[in-house]
A and B are shown apart, each in its own frame.
Chain A
Amino acid sequence: MAQKLRDRGFNAFVIAGGLREWSKAGYPLEQVPEADIVLLPVFT
């Protein structure tokens, strides 16, 4: 994805290890905002 953006002229980078590495290093996290949540159907 980052490479495709670079091909289109964006200065894009990949975060090595992603969220897992960020979280492991103890850097701050935040709750995903309610508005961004896509609620998929569940059985109740």
Chain B
Amino acid sequence: MHPLANLARHGYLALALVVFLESIGLPVPAALALIAAGTAAVSHAIAARYALPLALGATLAGDLLLYLAGRLSGWWLLGVLCRVSLNPESCILKSAQRFHRRGKLTLVVAKFIPGINTMAPPMAGSMRMPFLRFLQYDLAGAVAYVGAYFAVGYAFAGVIDVVYRKTMGLTRAVEWLAVAALAAYILYRFLLYWKHRRADVAPRITVHALADLQRNEPQKILIGDVRSHGYYDRGAQRIAGSVRLEPSKLLVGEEQLPRDRELYLYCT
């Protein structure tokens, strides 16, 4: 179906939903939705005076949600976001330092950079950027993002429409290709998960059994805290008697670990 027809049919709700979902980090094409909205505004399928504030509000709502999540969770959320990185520890440190240096500018341009757009608001929250300052820069970024893509759709409505009509035959094939790629990706993730489940995994111990060990044979064990996010806030707590084992240096500095003791690790 033609994107303009889609927008006319599902209206402002679809636009707001797509923009909101993207701003909370889901991989949905908000930029395309905004371009389509701009194109639709030319033919009066939708009204710019409603679509623009709605898209802006949806963007801000998503960003505020992530900002509050960062604010409430401290460094935990950044730790989760950095988990996909090769080195979560340095990811957290470097991201925090860079954001502290260029935080305001980052918030303004973040929307245009995939990946950074999801990281910026929770980082602002984790780093305790004052709410009004965050709102100010995030609003500037949101206005630039929504306005730019909407304006592109509006200004090039004729071209976009012609391009779409000429490539309509390809659209179905591209859709099938996208579905096939998604299915292949899900299958790949499932196979990875299955492989890891089948592979040898380290044995687990319950907290009750560990507490008994700690009470009765403390000299035989070492409890290691390998969290990458638990050491960034004053007042953070850990298991009594445990020691910090930095995940990024654990395997490098293995000679410092006792081989005559059992190691019990936790990371949550």
Contact = CB atoms under 8 A, between A and B. Distances in A.
Interface string B243-268: 01001001100100101011111111
A43 B96 CA distance: 11
B250 A40 contact: no
Contact of B237 (A4, A5, A14, A30): A30
B100 to A, nearest CB: 4
Interface residues of A, number: 39
Contact of A38 (B201, B211, B231, B239): B231
Given A14-B265, A27-B239, A39 B207 contact: no
User: How big is the B interface, by class?
Assistant: 35 or more
A1 B265 contact: yes
Nearest to B203: A13
B230 interface: yes
A20 to B, nearest CB: 6
Contact of A43 (B97, B100, B233): B100
Given A13-B205, A13-B264, A18-B266, A37 B128 contact: no
Interface in A1-37: 1-6, 8-23, 25, 27-32, 34, 36-37
A8 B254 contact: yes
Given A9-B259, A10-B263, A29-B239, A1 B208 contact: no
A35 to B, nearest CB: 10
7 contacts: A5-B254, A13-B204, A15-B265, A17-B207, A22-B210, A22-B211, A38-B232
Interface of B: 75, 92-93, 96-97, 100, 103, 124, 127-130, 133, 200-208, 210-211, 223, 225-227, 230-241, 244, 247, 250-251, 254, 257, 259, 261-268
